[in-house]
Amino acid sequence: MDASRIKTLEEGMAYEQSREGPPPGFPKLPPIPAKRYTDQVFFDLEIEHLWKKSWLFACHMDELPEPGSFYLWERIGSPIFIVRGRDDKLRGFYNTCRHRGAPVVREQTGRRNLFVCTYHGWSYDDKGHLINMRDPRDFPDFDKSCHSLVEVGVEVFGKMVFINLDKDAKPLMDYLHPVPTDMAQFQSENMRLVRKTTLDIKCNVKILLDAFQETYHLKSIHQKTVDRFLDHLGTYIELWPNGHSRMVTPHRDPNWVDPGVEGLPEVETVGEVGRVNNFSYNIYPNIVCPPYASGNSLIIFWPKTINTMEIEVIWVAPDWGDGPLSDIWETRLGNFDKILEEDTQFAEQIQISVESDGFQGTPLSYQERRIYHWHEHLDRLIGEENLPEGTRIEPLMGPYIMDPYASKAGE
């Protein structure tokens, strides 16, 4: 991170700590309509225009360690499997045999040179080509080349493997811009997989996505944990293109060092500003990533139904060499699990409340503008003409969206 960016962050946090209200001219944010969390038509549009057309995290490269490795992904209704080919290239396919739709792979992970449908024995290579079929005599004039597995987009950022079901999607790095440039100091390409867990929660996915976009809740929810060392009033926020955003929150004591990471390997390229402040990225639509020099989590939010969701948590760390992880990680992960429990403790009750007649919408403060930015971009994807009555967000954040690395787009 260059000197000008560091200066921007430091001055931004100082301004946030000293201001007495929103900056002059900042608009009063209209409430987020209640129906966005409860309307089935809106939820269906969200699945179709957001989740099925965005680049979504699928797995970590450590889960595809060698040629022939595959990973089964079943998040947004359509089963997909990703395979690392003998040419070392990643490819993704619908897990649907081109004969009568049976699954081609049934295990979550594994390694194969040939993918054989166990229903009727049709077989495919690691490029998805149909190479053999049982009783070919009964399929006269059948062209195998027209019956390859249906492919989906697969690309990699660092060691994070993403998929996109939209055949017209822009390249991953264009979609993610400016996240990769800003996160470069944390070297995501050199992070090893530490742990992967999931948590089912009975609420609309946006209820918890909203919660992770702000630090306004720290003094209430995290009194004995995060609030002890972070100053939420100093949180500096940047709204970025494509719905992405980032917030940086200063430590209450600039000399504070997390004792829970002492002695762990660190990424040497992380600068001072990244070590004495708390960064948190929202990689649109559903990844929250607070990176540290000693490793970080990816907190990933997945819709299941209109009022149920799942949180997937991926932990990665700099290479620790041969042998097991340091025992320090047991404490570190335990501390994180406690904080996550604090963040999710009211989610089911909030869902019940937003479904009641007493919930009229969500009024947002200046501190919560990342939430508005997230929802506003969702409306762009769905299209104003498609939005159900009473769900639209008035577009207000355009003048506040910045691209700090405009010249780097597409590089």
pLDDT digits (tens, 9 = 90+) for 280-321: 999 999 999 999 999 999 999 999 999 999 999 999 999 999
pLDDT digits (tens, 9 = 90+) for 331-370: 999 999 999 999 999 999 999 999 999 998 999 999 999 9
Average pLDDT over residues 128-132: 97
Average pLDDT over residues 75-102: 96
Q: Regarding the domain delimited by 3-54+170-408, which CATH topology (the fold level of the hierarchy) does it fall under?
A: Naphthalene 1,2-dioxygenase Alpha Subunit; Chain A, domain 1 (3.90.380)
At residue 363, what is the residue type? P
Which residue carries 């946006």 as its tokens?
Answer: 206
Question: Is the pLDDT at 411 greater than 80, yes or no?
Answer: no
Q: In this predicted model, which residue has the larger pLDDT, 263 or 211?
A: 211
Which residue carries 């501190």 as its tokens?
Answer: 367
CA angle 72, 155, 99 (to 5 degrees): 45
What pLDDT does residue 255 have?
78
What pLDDT does residue 408 have?
55
What pLDDT does residue 410 have?
47
With contact defined as beta carbons under 8 Å apart, do 368 and 235 qualify? no
Q: Which CATH number fits domain 56-157: 3.30.70.580, 3.20.20.70, 3.40.50.2300, 2.102.10.10?
A: 2.102.10.10
Average pLDDT over residues 210-238: 95
If phi > 0 it is left, if psi is from -120 to 50 it is alpha, else beta; for residue 263 that is left
Question: Is the pLDDT at 51 greater than 70, yes or no?
Answer: yes
Domain segments of the chain: what residues? 3-54+170-408, 56-157
With contact defined as beta carbons under 8 Å apart, do 52 and 44 qualify? no
Average pLDDT over residues 387-400: 97
* Three-class HEC string of the chain: CCHHHHHHHHHHHHHHHHCCCCCCCCCCCCCECHHHHCCHHHHHHHHHHHHCCCCEEEEEHHHCCCCCEEEEECCCCCCEEEEECCCCCEEEEECCCCCCCCCCCCCCEEECCCEECCCCCCEECCCCCEEECCCHHHCCCCCHHHCCCCEEEEEEECCEEEEECCCCCCCHHHHHCCHHHHCHHHCHHHEEEEEEEEEEECCCHHHHHHHCCCCCCHHHHCCCCHHHCECHHHCEEEECHHHCEEEEEEECCCCCCCHHHCCCCCCCCCCHHHHCEEEEEEECCCEEECCCCCCEEEEEEEEEECCEEEEEEEEEEECCCCCCCCCHHHHHHHHHHHHHHHHHCCHHHHHHHHCCCCCCCECCCHHHHHHHHHHHHHHHHHCHHHCCCCCCCCCCCHHHECCCCHHHCCC
What pLDDT does residue 188 have?
95
Please, what is the average pLDDT of the chain? 95
pLDDT exceeding 90 applies to what percent of the chain?
Answer: 93
With contact defined as beta carbons under 8 Å apart, do 260 and 332 qualify? yes
pLDDT exceeding 70 applies to what percent of the chain?
Answer: 99
Question: Is the pLDDT at 23 greater than 50, yes or no?
Answer: yes
